[in-house]
Each structure stands twice: as C-alpha cells, then as structure tokens.
Chain A
Amino acid sequence: MRRLVTVLLGVVLLAGCGVRPTPPVGGGDAPRGVAEGPTLYFLRGGSLVPVVRKIGKLGDYPTALRELFYGVAEGDPPGLTSALPTGGFGELTAGVTQRNTVEVRVLRGDGRPLTLSGAALDQIACTLSARHLAADRVYNVESVIVNEVPRRCPIGV
C-alpha cells in the first residue's frame, strides 16, 4: 500500500504541471554559410588546389563560377593555373536541381555550349561541391552536371 502511494506520488511529481524549465538541450545542426569568399579550385602541376577568393561573402553558385572563370587573381598563391577558357562565355546558370546534384550551363557568345577540357570540368565540379558544402548543408554533392555532362570532384573538398 505504502509503496503504491510512493510510486503514484513519484509519477505525479515527475509529470508535473505546466511548462517546466530545462537545462540547455541540443537541437540539431547549426546553420552555416558565412565565409570571406567562395573556395575556388585551380591547378598546380596537374593537381587541384583550393583558394579562397575573398570577396567579402560566400555568394551563390554563379558567383563562385564567375570567379573561377575570371582565373587566377593577383592575391592568389603563386604557380597556379586554370584550365578554363579565359575571356569567354555568353551565358551562365548554376544551381541545385535535385537534392544532391548541381547543374551548370555555360554557353558561348553564339549560344552554343562551351566546350571544356577534363581538367576544367574537375575545377568546376570541385568549386561547386565546395560551395554546396559551405552553405547547403545535409547532403554531399553526388555529381555536378556541366552542359549535360556529369562530373564528380576527384578529391575531397
């Protein structure tokens, strides 16, 4: 009898009434996405090298791509090269089309798709993957589709 009363009392006390205070409780992943600039991938002796282009914010996918097409800048580490054609594209779109796929279209001035070398595709894939991880949390990029050609970044970003 006494034990029953104790148990019932315990249950009532545990349940309590109203909204009870708690200690700090973890509530999941924190948001991300602030950065001094997008991470771009250039080549040095055939391997991919990350470079943060400090533009004062992370920016969106096209921004990162435009910076990449711009090529190696003055403040960047020495000895870097880019396989992307300089001086030119007519139109550029980039964005997440499925949850782990970034799709890119780069057109020449005459409206035809720009032809890119394998190294250039790697540079684009790695830059866009890095951009994806920097802000669009949860999923890693499975593939980057450049002008309908799928490409995966060969290194960890």
Chain B
Amino acid sequence: MSRLLDSLPTWARGLRARLVFAFLAVAALGAAAAAGASYVSARTTVLKYAQDQVMNATKDAVSQLAPELSFPPTQATLDQLVSRLPDSAAVVTYQDLRSRPMGYRLEDIPAELRAAVRTRGTLVFQRGTSPGGSSPMFYVGMPVLTKRAGGELEPSGMEVYLARNLGGPAGQISDLAQTAWQTSLLALPLAALLALLAARGVLRPVRELRGATRRLAGGDLGARLEVKGSDELADLAHTFNDTAAALDRTVTGLQRMEADARRFVADVSHELRTPLAAMTAVTDVLDEEAENLPEDAQIAARLVGQETRKLARMVEDLIEISRFDAGAARLVLTEVDVAEAVRNTLRARGWTDQVTTELPEGVRVKLDARRLDVIVANLVGNALRHGQPPVVATLTASPQWIELTVTDHGSGLPEAVLPQVFARFYKADSARSRSEGSGLGLAIAWENAQLHYGTIEAANAPHGGARFTLRLPRLARGVEEGVPR
C-alpha cells in the first residue's frame, strides 16, 4: 500500500487527494453495484416476459387445436396446424413429415434442443444466436403428448418448434444498461463535490494546526488553536494548546530566571565596586609603605595588594559582561587607523618589545576604538601569559574585512578545548586553576567582536602555537553605523 502511495505523483499523495480518491472509488463502486444489480434484474424480467409470452401462447394454441387434429397426421394436417399457430414461424414435425417452411426451417433449430425435446418429453427452450450470428434468438420446442386408455401420457411423435428473434427485448435491455451507466456516471461529479467538501472540513483544522505549529516554532509562544467540536482533531488541537501553554510557561520561567541571575551578577558587581575602590586605595598606600614594614607584613601587604587589584579587575570585567547581557553595550564608531590603534594598545600595556607586529599602514576602518583596544589587549595578553614568545600580531585587509591574527609559539591549545575557549570562566589548564586573568577576558573579546558583527576564531597555527583570528567587517560598507545590538 505504501509502495503504491510512493509511486503516485506528489500532488496525488496529499490527504485531500487521497480522501477524494477514496470517496470517488467508494461512490463508483456503489453506483456500479447498484447499476449492475438493477440491470441484471431488469434484464431477467424483460427476458422472462418475452419468453413466457412466446411459450405460453404457442402451448395454449397447440392445446386448443390438438383435439380436432386428425391423427396420425398428414402433410396437410401439419401445414394446417402451423398456419393456425399465433406466430406461424413454427415448424411441426411428425416422424419424417415436415410442415411447409414458413420463415424458419427445421435446420435453423439447434440440434441440442431437438434432442432435449425428444428425451425429456417436456417443453424446452434455449437461447442462442441467429445463424448469421448477430442477433439473439429464442428457440422453443415441445412434443405433443397423447394419452393411452388407462395408461400414462406419452409423446405422440408430433413436435412443434419455433424460433423468435429477441432483437426487440435485447434492444430494450441495452437501453436499460445505458441508462443505468449514465445514472451512475451522474453520481460521480456529485460524489467528487461531496468529497471535496468533506476533505475541506477535515483538512481545515489540520491546516490551522500546521500554521500554529509554524508560529510556535518561529518563537511565538502565544500561538493557540481555536478548538471546535469534539472529534479527534479537536482533541489534537487541545493537546497542541496544552503543549504550547506548557512550553510558554517553561520558557518564560527560564527567561525570568536567567534575567534574575544576570541582574544579580550585575548588582553584586556594582555593589562590590565601591568597597573595592576604597580597598584599592588602601592597598596602594600599603604597597608604598611596604618597605617600612617587617618582612612578614611586607609579604602579606603585597599579597593583599595583588589580590585586591585582581578582584577589582574581575569586578570590572563582570560589570562589562553584564552590560553585554543586558543589551546595554553600544558602539561608538570613529574612523580608526587599525595599525596605529594596535601599536597604541601594545605601547600602553608595555608589550611593544615582546610582540612582533606586521601591521600595514593606512588601513582605516570605522569601529569602536575602545572595544578594539579591549579585544587586542585580551588576545595579546592571553598569548603572552599562556603561550611562548615570540608573539606575532598580523593585520591583513580586504575590501570587506579586516583580519588581525595573534599567534604565539607555545604548545597550542588541545583540540577538545578549542570550542570552549570563549566560554566564561573556562580555564584551559585545569591544573592552574588560579591564573592571573579573570577568566572573562576572551568572553569579553568575543562579545566585543560580535558587537561589530565580527568573529574571533581560535585555532592552532601549523607550527603548533595557538592562533586567534579577529575578523571585523568594514562597517561603512553593509552595516549601518550605530545599529544597536
């Protein structure tokens, strides 16, 4: 059955087409059965009427004439009997005598029938085709019986045969057949119309369901179906609505929880900022005064100063990333010479000596200079901290993109780490759980690149070191300025 379905053309595989086909098939079968049955019964009636008329009329006539027939008969007796039969197209035989042919001869009567008349001794009929073979014929044969004194009835030797063309009744029957077929054909368009109506009724809810499912898949969690009636499709609509409501509740809850979590982080970071500022000031003083302290206190003071600065940087990073999460980050676009910007970043951090640069001059792009600085500082700082020198920064430019790669010559990143490098607080080296970084640097760099509609990719260079590639589009072409993220 499914193979049959697959072999159909696409338009015929739809539910509507299948429903209509099934409906039509049932209607056609029903109409054909009804037409066939009525045709068969009508044919039987018509034939029986025609045949009975012929047989009874002849039999009655023979019965009436027989007592006055001279017996044994002469040729004249046979001719006289034939001439007085209602149809005259009969043949009467007695031993070797034959009545004068009137229309049909004895040879036209099937030999089978004559044999049956002789052996059975009753009235016998048979249908066949005319000697020409075209029109249906009806043949009747009957012996004329005689009764001996005190004995049984027995054939007298006289036999009456007649042939009748059934062309008339056959025509009537074929008219009946034609009418029957025409009537059943008339039923088909009606059935098709009904099938289409029924298919529409059944398929409308299915279509609505499809639309609602698409809206739901597209993110419209409020998509619901109107439930009509109480059939299986209404059940399905109910289930869909329940599912959509459950999904809506879950997603809304998750969104709220996520927003709560982010707000919490942002709030905590903000709250930490002020005491940290005070602590930083104090540790700065402590650092300056460290030389005057005993040695133990000196170490303690430096440790406190270090950790406090680290904490302050982490809080700054957290605040930065909360801004991204809240969607509050905005680009401040200015025309920037990229080579100059990168050099400035390196100079500001004191990294100029440790980094080899290949920076072609004159690559001017509209971008947010502060964010580019954050990205470059993070990538280069990362390379200096975790990789081996020399660290190489290379800038290339195409009409659509600028590409800045930062490559170190360390052992590179394990393959398993690459996809998670930009995740927050992800540490590539689990043994060194307390690194100098906040664990947010690459995440922030990535967010900044995203803000520029750009990307950062992490990979390993052919010689083994880690290679980070920043790709930024030239915003003036294609992306409008200041489009909020």
Contacts and interface: CB of A to CB of B under 8 A. Distances in A.
A51 B149 CA distance: 7
Interface in B160-184: 160, 166, 169-170, 173-174, 177
Nearest to B149: A50
A3 interface: no
A19 B139 CA distance: 13
Interface stretch (A28-36, A85-93, A103-111, A117-125): A28-36
B240 interface: no
Interface string A9-47: 001100101111111111111111111100100000000
B123 A26 contact: yes
A56 B122 contact: no
B144 A33 contact: yes
A57 interface: yes
A26 B66 contact: no
A29 B170 CA distance: 27
A149 interface: no
Nearest to B115: A24
A52 B146 CA distance: 13
Interface stretch (A65-73, A94-102, A128-136, A139-147): A128-136
A35 B177 contact: no
Given A30-B142, A57-B69, A25 B126 contact: yes
Contacts of A157: 149-150
Contact of A22 (B65, B127, B145, B156): B127
B126 A23 contact: yes
Contacts, number: 148
Given A28-B122, A135-B63, A57 B145 contact: no
B302 to A, nearest CB: 91
A84 interface: no
B221 interface: no
Contacts of A150: none
A78 interface: no
A130 B291 CA distance: 166
A135 B143 contact: no
Given A22-B126, A25-B124, A59-B68, A30 B145 contact: yes
B452 to A, nearest CB: 65
A60 interface: yes
Range of interface residues on B (Cβ < 8 Å): 35 or more
A34 B66 contact: yes
Given A24-B124, A27-B124, A31-B144, A137 B69 contact: no
A18 B177 CA distance: 8
A57 B80 CA distance: 14
B174 A24 contact: no
A95 to B, nearest CB: 12
B125 interface: yes
B437 interface: no
A79 interface: no
A127 B165 CA distance: 43
B23 interface: no
Contacts of B1: 1
A153 to B, nearest CB: 11
Contacts of A50: 149-150
A15 B174 contact: no
Given A30-B143, A32-B63, A135-B63, A56 B71 contact: yes
B270 interface: no
B62 interface: yes
A89 B404 CA distance: 154
A26 B69 contact: no
Given A27-B55, A30-B121, A31-B142, A134 B70 contact: no
Contact of B127 (A19, A29, A133, A135): A19
A11 B37 CA distance: 10
B70 A57 contact: yes
Contact of B113 (A17, A24, A51, A134): A24
Given A33-B69, A33-B144, 10 more contacts: A19-B173, A25-B124, A27-B123, A28-B55, A32-B63, A32-B153, A34-B158, A35-B146, A58-B67, A156-B150
Interface of B: 1, 29, 36, 39-40, 43, 47, 55, 59-60, 62-63, 65-73, 110, 112-113, 116, 120-129, 136, 140-147, 149-150, 153, 155-156, 158, 160, 166, 169-170, 173-174, 177
5 contacts: A17-B174, A24-B125, A31-B66, A32-B144, A36-B72
